[in-house]
Each structure stands twice: as C-alpha cells, then as structure tokens.
C-alpha cells in the first residue's frame, strides 16, 4: 500500500530518524544549562511556537480591541468624565475637610500648650461694615463666654469679646480701629501698645525712645492689659519711621490672617488668672 510505503513518505521517515538521533544524543549528554538536550531542544522549539502564537493572538486581540470593539467607548468616556467630575468635587470637599481638621488640630495643640480653660468656637459671621473689623462666633454666655475675654488662634491673638449674647458673641479683631493690645518685643522685652488701624496692619505706640526695637522683631502679648494672656504672637515689625532721635511711627504686620479665620479659642480664664489687670482699665484704645 502506498500509504505505508516508506519510500513514498520519506519526509515522515526523515522526521522519525531526526527525532531518534536527538533522543540518542540527549541520552548521552546534557545541554549547557544542565537540562537534557531533548528537553532543551523541545522546549526551545515549543517556546518559539508559543511566542509566535502569542504574538499572533495578541495582535489579533489588539486589533479587535483597538478598532472593532469600540462601540461602547463613547458611553464609557461619558461615564468616566462624569466620574472625574464627581471625584474632583469630592476631592475639593476632602481638601476642605482636611484643612478644617488641621485648624482644629492646631487649636487642640494650642489648648494643650496654654494650659488655660478655653472654649473652641467657630466663626459664623463677619461685621456688617468695613469700618468695624469684627467677627461673630458661635459661642455665647450659655457657653461661659463673657465680655473682654480674649480670643486666640494657633497663629496668635485674634481679638476680644465685645458683645456676648446667649448663643453667640461678637469679637473685636485686633485690626479694628478701636482695638488695642499691650505688647512687648519678644527679643528685647521692650513694651508698647499695638493699635488697630482699620486696615490690615497695626500701629505700635507708647514705645520708649530708648527701646531696643528693629524691623523684623516679633511682638507678643505682654499680659499687662488683663485681657490677653501673655506670650501670644501679635505681629512683626514691618516698618519703623524715626524723626530725629524719636520714634514717629511703627507699622506691625499681624501674625493672624484675619481673612481666613475659621476656628478660634475663647480664653475663659478671668483676668486674675492670666495676670493683673492693667491700671489703665483694659486694652480699650485711649485716644
């Protein structure tokens, strides 16, 4: 039969003989990697087949995915755009929450450091006119808040309570044109009084002509006004104008950014707790 005539099928015979030779060689030696030669040859050949098959399949799949199966891409794109928008909104909300958390954490740190009885408060409103620089907090007499109590933040002194109601209170900021606070230069301990100007800066007055004060010095509350506890930052000397040998005008940049205040602490300690009341009768500005 021609089917079994080996002379007609020399290709099969050739394959059988070649495989036989390889088996014979493999039985005698190992390849360089220590694997029997037959395994190395078969694996090498099969790996190439696999590589080629994978390349063909990958190419076909890429063509299908990249060109044919794109009918859902538009819907997916719209859904993804919506999701991006939602996530952006969520991100902004989370950022706001994170900022609020950070502010609260600083306030907690401040309360722990100051060892004073305080009450945290949130700013719920600002003054109705630009002349009067004040804010409204959500704590009032029912929370123990009284007039002339100091209000501070993690950045420094903020102001004092001027009008408490049952559940809220108005706080006069240091930059109000009728506000004043007793201060001292942190470096030299030279004392003075910082007045609000109605603008974004303070004026330092009642400073001795021989006081050691230079531009860049930090001012802190001295505590002698009986309102503000000692040691809270008030601001930094921004400019010193001299006229002859005397000081004419000293501008102070406040430590607190009043435009971004959100959370504050009301110092509940009575004036006696934080220090003797000033003989001038508080920090009310005297013109």
Which spans of this chain sit near other proteins (rule: CB under 8 A)?
A: 6-7, 10, 13-14, 17-18, 21-22, 24-25, 28-29, 31-32, 37
The beta-strand segments (E) located in 10-155 are 118-126, 134-137, 150-153
From 84, 56, 196, 226, select the one nearest 130 (Cα to Cα). 196
Least Å distance, CB 4 to other proteins, is 13
Give me the least distance between CB of 20 and other proteins, in Å please.
8
Torsion-angle region of residue 156: left (phi > 0), alpha (psi -120 to 50) or beta?
left
- The sign one gets for the Cα dihedral 166, 167, 170, 173 is positive
Residues 6+ apart with CB under 8 A from 164: 140, 141, 145, 146, 147, 170
Shortest distance in whole angstroms from residue 8 CB to other proteins: 9
H/E segment holding residue 182: strand 180-185
Distance CA 264, CA 257 (A): 12
By beta-carbon proximity to other proteins, the closer residue of 40 and 278 is 40
State in angstroms the smallest separation of the CB of 75 from other proteins: 56
CB closer to other proteins, 6 vs 68: 6
Nearer to other proteins, 10 or 92 (CB): 10
Shorter beta-carbon distance to other proteins: residue 11 or 245: 11
Shortest reach from residue 11's CB to other proteins, in Å: 8
**Three-point CA angle 152, 157, 163, nearest 5°:** 65
Comparison of 26 and 255: residue with beta carbon closer to other proteins: 26
Q: Which is nearer to other proteins, 41 or 268 (by Cβ)?
A: 41
Half-sphere exposure of 78 (CA within 13 A, CB side): 4
Name residues whose C-beta falls within 8 Å of residue 28's C-beta, 6 or more positions apart in sequence: none
C-beta of 53: minimal distance to other proteins in Å? 24
Task: Enter the tokens of residue 151.
Answer: 């209000």
Q: Which is nearer to other proteins, 23 or 97 (CB)?
A: 23
Minimum CB separation of residue 1 from other proteins in Å reads 16
Longest dimension (CA), the chain: 132
Contact 244, 142 (CB under 8 A): no
Residue 1 or 29 with smaller CB distance to other proteins: 29
Name, in order, each residue with C-beta under 8 angstroms of 245's C-beta and a sequence gap of 6 or more: 209
Integer Cα distance of 107 and 115 in angstroms: 12
């Amino acid at each position: 039969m021609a089917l079994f005539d080996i002379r007609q099928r020399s290709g099969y015979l050739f394959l059988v003989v070649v495989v036989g030779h390889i088996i014979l060689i493999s039985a005698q030696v190992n390849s360089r990697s220590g694997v029997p030669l037959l395994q190395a040859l078969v694996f090498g050949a099969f790996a190439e087949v696999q590589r080629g098959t994978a390349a063909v399949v990958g190419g076909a799949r890429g063509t299908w995915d990249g060109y044919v199966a794109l009918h859902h891409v538009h819907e997916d794109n719209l859904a993804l755009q919506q999701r991006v928008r939602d996530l952006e909104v969520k991100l902004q909300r989370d950022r706001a929450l994170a900022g609020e958390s950070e502010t609260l954490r600083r306030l907690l740190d401040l309360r722990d450091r100051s060892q004073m009885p305080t009450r945290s408060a949130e700013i719920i409103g600002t003054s109705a006119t630009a002349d009067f620089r004040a804010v409204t907090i959500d704590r009032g007499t029912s929370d123990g808040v009284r007039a002339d109590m100091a209000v501070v933040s993690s950045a420094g002194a903020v102001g004092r309570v001027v009008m408490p109601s049952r559940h809220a209170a108005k706080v006069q900021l240091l930059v109000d044109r009728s506000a004043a606070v007793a201060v001292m230069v942190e470096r030299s301990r030279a004392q003075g009084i910082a007045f609000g100007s109605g603008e974004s800066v303070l004026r330092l007055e009642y400073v001795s002509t021989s006081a050691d004060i230079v531009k860049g010095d930090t001012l802190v509350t001295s505590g002698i006004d009986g309102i503000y506890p000692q040691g809270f930052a008030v601001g930094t000397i921004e400019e010193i104008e001299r006229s002859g040998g005397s000081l004419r005008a000293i501008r102070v940049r406040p430590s607190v950014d009043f435009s971004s205040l959100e959370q504050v602490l009301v110092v509940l300690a009575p004036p006696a707790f934080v220090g003797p009341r000033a003989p001038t009768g508080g920090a009310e500005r005297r013109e």
